[in-house]
Every structure is written in structure tokens, then in C-alpha cells.
Amino acid sequence: MPKVLIADKLSPLAVEVFQRRGLNVDFEVGLSPEELKARAGGYDGIAVRSATKLTAEILEAGAAGELKVTGRAGIGVDNIDVEAATGHGVVVMNTPYGNATTTAEHTVALMFALARQIPAADTSTQAGKWEKSRFMGMELTGKTLGLIGCGNIGSIVAERALGLRMKVAAYDPFLSNDRAVDLGVEKVELDELLGRADIITLHVPMNDQTRGIIDAAALAKCKKGVRIINCARGGLVVEADLKAALESGQVAGAALDVFEIEPAKENALFGLPNLVCTPHLGASTNEAQENVAVQIAEQMSDYLLSGAVTNAINMPSLTAEDAKRLGPYMKLAEQLGSFAGQLTRTGLQAVTIEYEGHVAELNTRPLTQAALTGLLRPMLDSVNMVNAPVLARQRDIELREIKDETPGDYQTLIRLTVKTDRQERAVSGTLFSGDKPRIVEIKGIQIEAQLSPHMLYTTNDDKPGVIGALTGLLAEEQINIASFHLGRNAPGGDAIALIELDEPMNGETVNKVRELPSITRAELLQF
């Protein structure tokens, strides 16, 4: 059975889930990077929170062994080298919904704390002071909340803010107009949001586009007295610029749960009277920690046991039901890719995958990745469904996907066409009885064949005696034929044969086949 390592402090419920699903699980916290690197290859999956760093070196060592999936119990994957994981064919999962409500509620809590200066007022009151005039607050009703990011967490914050009778404006390039209407928010550009918002909250991931999105230039565009709240990622706000804006009064107050450097035991912002800070508590509730632990354990178990993919960063989602339904199509797609890949001898330039009929109505992304995997495997031993698209891009292989839901000669058909620097070749396949892959066309020639572990593929001039000579040679070599499939484009034209063999054929025999009269090509294929 698959074996999983839990390398960070997760709820004990995660262990229970893995064990209930039949997986072997080790729960070891505090492993050094060297220890983790040495042991990573012994596990099919590694589950972490934010403390453990899964570096490129650790992932490479893991992928050289058994490692297939990593899971982050939480939304961010900053501590996992996703690019390295993808390159080594390791799935990276997270739990984007498990702590969404908790983080949104923490944002709202900080908004109230900031508006009414609650932390400072509490400290003053417990010190025996009674400074009512000092702590003049701001009413939230009627104020404009500006959301930078309106995904899972941002949309919950919007819902809560609308319940407080606030106006909500959102900047999010991925927010559709219809979704904005459904949420009851106004979709705006970033500069407009900065100029209108009384309070700005951030709910975006950290990447090259969002890093430092709140800097001196952005703060200068805000209305004087704006309040800034960040429960997302520390690097979204340039802390030196925020400090200057807090000191000048351009920003009336800020509430931060995240910092550029964590743990933030020292920070230039600390000590400012108009600042509220918490130590990255956005997801710190019992409910959230249990939710993400259970979710990541379920997701990793599903993947290792059934191939289902949920909330993966580097692979399309595939439910257990989809995995079962798409299984025969994925086998067909990989066989088509493998067939073309084993016959490709020159530089691969482009791949076109066409889906016709019923298969065009399905989720074809996993099918395309399966086809690419089969196509590249003869050249790259380490390729799998996770890294196949990356490896194709690295080699400048153009990929096209075409769908046509109208059935043709078959109710469902997949056609894979490869273009090399010398020629273009197509192979097509379908499913018989709903789950049995069949090759039905090669280079425009109709043929019906089931692929098996040992196949001999030949092309020849369509002349009398070719089949007899070929079968006679195989008989002399004591090679038994399991099935023999023929096709031609026209009488006396080009012909092909797919021959299923009971056992492998050695290279010497293949060369003898190639030397037969009228045989133009002979290749041993394995599936």
C-alpha cells in the first residue's frame, strides 16, 4: 500500500484519514532538510503545512524514489518548489477552501479592531487610564471597502462587508462581470479602487505581478486616511513605504497578519500607534486546522488510490468518478501517443490531438496529458502526466487541441497527428464496447487492431507474396503470431500490418524482416 509522511504539525485527524483509507503513514515533525532529502524517496506522498520547505533538492531526491504527490494543508504553497515538483512529475496539492472562512473572518475582525482602535484602547484601559477622547473610531456602515483579489477568501469578506451595509469595490483580473453581479460588488480597475476605498484588504497570491502591489506609488493614489489590512502574504505590502505613509497620516491605520520576513520578531513597523498586528493567525482556528488536515489527507489518498486529482497546482482536477469514466480514454490516448512516439525518429515540432463525438464532451485535458506522456516516453524515461506539458514546452513542441462533438464513422474518436522536420503522421483510435481501446487508422489507412505488449509494425508495397514471406520468416524464427491486422490505401499502393506477437522479437530478426522484398519499414513496438 502507498506510504505517506506527515512532516509538519497537522491535526491527528489526518493520520486517522490516511489509516482509514488503508495507507501507511509516518508522523514525524522537525526533520532537518538533510534528513527529509534522505528519506523523501521512501514515500509516495509528503504532507506539510508551512514550516517544512520542500526544496528542489528534496523533490528531486523524492522523485528518484517513490514520491508522487505533495500536499500543503493550507492555501499557500510558498514552501514547495512547484516548478521543481512539476519538472520531476510530482503533483502539488493544496486546500484552498479549508481555511477560507477562517481567514475571511480574521480580516473582518482586524477591520473592526482597526476602525475602533480596540487593541490600543484595551491596553490603555487595563493600564488604569480612561481615554475616551483619544480613541475616536470610524463607523463602517456606508464606507467603501476595496478588495484587491475577489477569489475564495475575498468573496467571503465581500459577503460579510455587504452584511455590514458597506459598499464593496473589487479589483481582480479574473473576476467576471456576471460573478461581480452575483456577489453584489462593483468591479473596478486598481487605480480607481485605490482612489475610492476607505479600507483596502488584500486577498491575492504572491507572484511577480502582485509582489509589492501596495507600495509608495499605490499609497499616494489612495485617499488620505485610508486603512490597509493584509491577511494574505507579507510581500504584497512594501513595509518601508507603509511605515512612511502611517507616519505622515496618508494612511490612518494598518492591520497586518503577515510580514515580509516571518517569524516577525523584529520589524520597522512595530511600535507605531496606528498599527494592529497578529502573528499569521488567519488560519488559526480549531475548525480550520481540522478542515485542512482532513482535506489534504483525503485528497492525497484519493490520488494515490484511485488517480483522482483535487486542488492540484500543477495538474487539472480529476474526480474519482472522472478518473473511472476517463480511464479507458486515457489508456487509448496514451497508446496513440506511444505508437506515434515509438515511430518518431526525427525532431518533433508539433502535435495535434482531435477529439470527435462523445469524447469531445468530456474533460479532455487529462487525455491530452496522457497522449503527450505516451508520445514523449520513448525519448524521456522520466515523463508522466504532470510534467509532460512542461517538457513539451521546453522542447518548443507546438500543441493543438481540437474538439468536434459531432460523431463521424465512430461514436467516439481520438486522432493524434505529429509533425516532424521530415513528415506528418496521424494515428486514430476508438473504444469498442465502451472500454476496449482499438487503433482504427494509421497514416490515413483504415485498420482495426488491439495493441498488446509485443507488436510488429510493418509498411510495404501492396504486392502478392509479402504476407507469405513475412509469416514464413516468423515461423522459421519460432515466433508465434497472436493476431494479424492489415490495411492498405489502394490496390497495389501502400500497405501496413500490425502483428501481435506472443513474445518479444530480437533485433536480429527485425533486421531480417526489413530485408524482405517489398518491406519498406519494420519496427518492434511495446505497449
Question: What pLDDT, on the 0 to 100 scale, is given for residue 324?
Answer: 82
Domains 3-96+287-306 and 320-525 share a fold: no
Q: What is residue 381's predicted lDDT score, i.e. its pLDDT?
A: 67
Give the tens place of pLDDT for each residue, 116-146. Answer: 999 999 999 999 999 998 999 999 999 999 9
User: What pLDDT is recorded for position 199?
Assistant: 98
Residue 393: exposure state from Cβ atoms within 10 A (0-12, 13-18, ≥19): exposed
What is the maximal distance between C-alpha atoms in the chain?
A: 109
Strand 186-187 relative to strand 199-202, pairing: unpaired
Percent of the chain with pLDDT over 70: 99
Q: What pLDDT was estimated at residue 409? A: 87
Q: State mean pLDDT over 39-60.
A: 95
Q: Cα–Cα distance between 326 and 307 in angstroms, integer? A: 11
3-state secondary structure 61-121: HHHCCCCCEEEECCCCCCCECHHHHHHCCCEEECCCCCCHHHHHHHHHHHHHHHHCCHHHH
pLDDT (0 to 100) of residue 166? 98
pLDDT at residue 423 tops 90:
no
Q: What's the CA angle centered on 43, arms 39 and 48, to 5 degrees?
A: 85
Nearest of 231, 226, 255, 229 to residue 120 by alpha carbon: 255
Whether residue 200 contacts residue 148, with contact meaning beta carbons closer than 8 Å, is answered with yes
Average pLDDT estimate for 1-15? 95
> Looking at 39, 72, 203, 233, which residue is catalytic?
233
Identify the pLDDT of residue 393: 86
For the whole model, what pTM was predicted?
0.64
Catalytic residue among 179, 280, 365, 425: 280
Report pLDDT for 135: 92
Q: Could you state, in order of their start, the residue ranges of all structural domains in the chain? A: 3-96+287-306, 100-277, 320-525
- Per-residue pLDDT at 386: 83
Does the pLDDT at position 226 exceed 80?
A: yes
Which superfamily, per CATH, for 3-96+287-306? Answer: NAD(P)-binding Rossmann-like Domain (3.40.50.720)
Which range (110-124, 216-230, 362-376) has the least confidence?
362-376
Q: Is the pLDDT of residue 417 over 90?
A: yes
404 — pLDDT class (breaks 50, 70, 90): very high
* pLDDT tens profile 294-351: 999 999 999 999 888 888 888 878 777 777 888 899 999 999 999 999 998 667 889 9
Is 233 part of the annotated catalytic residue set? yes
Q: Which is more confidently placed, 155 or 422?
A: 155
Question: Is it the case that residue 480 has pLDDT exceeding 80?
Answer: yes
The CATH number of the domain covering residues in 100-277: 3.40.50.720
Q: What band does 460 get if pLDDT is binned at 50, 70 and 90?
A: very high
Residue 206: pLDDT band by 50, 70, 90 thresholds?
Answer: confident
| Separation of alpha carbons 114 and 139, rounded Å | 11
Q: Which CATH class is domain 320-525?
A: alpha beta
Return the pLDDT at 403.
Answer: 95
**Catalytic residue of the set 28, 189, 262, 361:** 262
- 295-310 pLDDT, tens digit per residue, is 999 999 999 998 888 8
pLDDT of residue 93 exceeding 90, the answer is yes
H runs (alpha helix) in 395-522: 466-476, 507-514
Long-range contacts of 282-285 (CB under 8 A, 24+ apart): 282/99, 282/102, 282/103, 282/106, 282/107, 282/231, 282/257, 282/258, 283/74, 283/75, 283/99, 283/102, 283/103, 284/102, 285/99, 285/102
Helix, strand or coil, per DSSP, at residue 500: strand
Average pLDDT value for the chain? 92
Segment 371-392 mean pLDDT: 84
Q: What is the pLDDT of residue 432?
A: 92
Q: Is 70 exceeded by the pLDDT of residue 382?
A: no
